[in-house]
Amino acid sequence: MTRIAIVGVAGRMGRTLVNAVQQDAGATLAGGVVEPGSSLVGTDLGELAGVGRLDVTAVDSLEAILDDVDVLIDFTSPQVTLANLAACAAYGKAIVIGTTGLDDEQLAELDGYRDRVPMVFAPNMSVGVNLTLKLLETAAKALGDEGYDIEVIESHHRHKVDAPSGTALKMGEVVADALERPLKEYGVFERVGQCGPRSDREIGFATVRAGDIVGEHTVMFATEGERIEITHKASSRMTFAKGAVRAARWVAGQGNGRYSMQDVLGL
Ligand X SMILES: O=C(O)C1=N[C@H](C(=O)O)C[C@H](O)C1
State yes or no: 84 annotated in a binding site.
no
List Cβ neighbours of 190 (8 Å cut-off, separation of 6 or more).
none
Residue 116 engages ligand NDP in binding (rule: CB under 6 A):
no
d(C-alpha 227, C-alpha 30), whole Å? 48
State yes or no: 33 annotated in a binding site.
no
Among the listed ranges 21-29, 110-118, 159-167, 187-195, the one in contact with ligand X (CB under 6 A) is 159-167
Q: With respect to ligand NDP, which residue has the nearer C-beta, 35 or 145?
A: 35
State yes or no: 167 annotated in a binding site.
yes
Tell me if residue 156 is catalytic.
yes
Tell me if residue 93 is catalytic.
no
Residue 250 engages ligand NDP in binding (rule: CB under 6 A):
no
d(C-alpha 11, C-alpha 33), whole Å? 10
Phi, psi of 186 (to 5 degrees): -105, -10
Residue 41's identity, in one-letter code, is: V
Contact in structure between 113 and 93 (CB atoms under 8 Å): no
The item of ligand X, ligand NDP, none sharing an interface with residue 22, based on CB under 5 to 8 Å by kind, is none
List Cβ neighbours of 165 (8 Å cut-off, separation of 6 or more).
100, 123, 154, 156, 207, 215, 217
Residue 203's identity, in one-letter code, is: I
Considering only 4, 5, 6, 10, the residue that binds ligand NDP (CB under 6 A) is 10
Q: With respect to ligand NDP, which residue has the nearer C-beta, 2 or 165?
A: 165
Among the listed ranges 3-11, 56-64, 135-143, 165-173, the one in contact with ligand X (CB under 6 A) is 165-173
Residue 160 engages ligand X in binding (rule: CB under 6 A):
yes
The per-type count for the chain, helices as H runs and strands as E runs, is 9, 12
The item of ligand NDP, ligand X, none sharing an interface with residue 8, based on CB under 5 to 8 Å by kind, is ligand NDP
Residue 13 engages ligand NDP in binding (rule: CB under 6 A):
yes
Residue 258 engages ligand NDP in binding (rule: CB under 6 A):
no
* Cα distances (angstroms) measured from residue 224 to each of 19, 147, 148, 228: 47, 9, 8, 12
Considering only 118, 166, 187, 204, the residue that binds ligand X (CB under 6 A) is 166
Which of 134, 141, 156, 217 does the annotation list as catalytic?
156
Q: Which residues are catalytic, by number?
A: 156, 160
